[in-house]
Structures are given as structure tokens and as C-alpha cells.
């Protein structure tokens, strides 16, 4: 019924000026995944698009982190595929970095507020538990060297004892 497709490794060598057009064609095919193996590193010390790929990965990661905290509108449907320059991507990545810094600061503030809320709830519970505690505070002003008072909780069934 289903059978796996054999993987094919193809090396494409194009002129640097033709890279944007070749990139668009490969993107339209939706079957292209660049291979990052260092097979010919000695012949090709500089791989075109490496910086672009790094910027894209970083921007994509930032956008995913932001989208976990802020609901984003559905992606815009473009009329056609177009080339985004490295400068545009770098500017977008920088902007996403600034947005993530603010989002991260708000996330940290929310975490602190949550911790403080939990502490207040615990203090309220402690006050409720010891609200009916009846201790003569005059014992603290006496001439005694040691004060022997046991503070704790006793089950209601044992209160009459």
C-alpha cells in the first residue's frame, strides 16, 4: 500500500547570482531539504546562504516562543513566493528579539506574581488554621527563663479531651 521513497542526494552547483531564482524554484517544489554534511568542505569553504539559514532558524525559534504567550493572527496568504533579502530577515530577527525580551520580562513578572500569590494563599491557610489559637501573651513578659508552650494542630475529634 505505502512504500518509502528512496532518498536522493543531489549536488546543485549554480552561480551566486542565480541563487535567489534557484532558491525560489526549490521552495516551490516543497521537496527540498538542504544537506548540511561537510562532504566537500575543502573544495567549498564558504557555503552560500549559511548566515541566512542561521538568521531564519533564530527568527523562527523566537516567533515560536512568542506565539506560546501571545495569540498570533493566522499566517498571511501571499500571492506568490518572493525572495526576502538577508537584511530584511536580519531586521525582522532583531525586532523579534526585542519583542521576545519584553515577552520574557512579562513572563518572569507573571511567574513572580504566581509565586507571591501561592505564598499569600499559604499564609491565609496558616492564619485560618491558627485563627482560634488562644495563648496568654502575658506569659512572654514573665521572669521565666524558658517558655514551654506547644503549638500545633489537634484533630477536632480530640478537642474535647
Q: What is the pTM of this model?
A: 0.56
Q: Tell me, what's the pLDDT at 62? A: 93
End-to-end CA distance of the chain: 78
Q: Tens of pLDDT along the chain (161 residues)?
A: 567 777 677 777 888 888 778 877 877 777 666 666 666 666 666 667 778 888 989 999 999 998 888 887 777 676 776 778 889 999 999 999 999 999 999 999 999 999 999 999 999 988 888 777 777 777 667 776 666 667 777 777 877 75
Q: Tell me, what's the pLDDT at 36? A: 63
Question: How many angstroms separate the CA atoms of 161 and 157, rounded?
Answer: 9
Q: State the DSSP string of 52-80.
A: HHHHHHHHHHHHHHHHTTSPPPPPPPPSS
Amino acid at each position: 500500500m505505502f512504500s518509502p521513497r528512496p532518498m536522493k542526494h543531489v549536488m546543485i552547483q549554480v552561480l551566486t547570482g542565480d541563487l535567489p531564482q534557484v532558491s525560489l524554484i526549490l521552495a516551490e517544489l516543497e521537496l527540498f531539504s538542504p544537506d548540511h554534511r561537510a562532504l566537500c568542505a575543502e573544495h567549498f569553504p564558504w557555503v552560500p546562504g549559511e548566515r541566512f539559514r542561521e538568521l531564519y532558524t533564530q527568527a523562527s525559534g523566537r516567533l515560536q516562543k512568542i506565539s506560546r504567550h501571545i495569540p498570533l493572527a493566522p499566517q498571511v496568504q501571499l500571492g506568490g513566493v518572493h525572495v526576502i533579502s538577508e537584511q530584511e530577515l536580519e531586521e525582522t530577527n532583531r525586532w523579534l528579539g526585542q519583542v521576545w525580551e519584553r515577552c520574557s520580562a512579562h513572563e518572569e513578572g507573571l511567574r513572580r506574581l504566581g509565586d507571591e500569590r501561592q505564598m499569600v494563599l499559604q499564609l491565609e491557610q496558616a492564619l485560618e488554621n491558627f485563627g482560634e489559637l488562644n495563648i496568654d501573651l502575658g506569659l512572654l513578659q514573665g521572669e521565666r527563663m524558658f517558655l514551654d508552650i506547644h503549638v500545633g494542630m489537634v484533630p477536632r475529634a480530640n478537642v474535647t479531651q
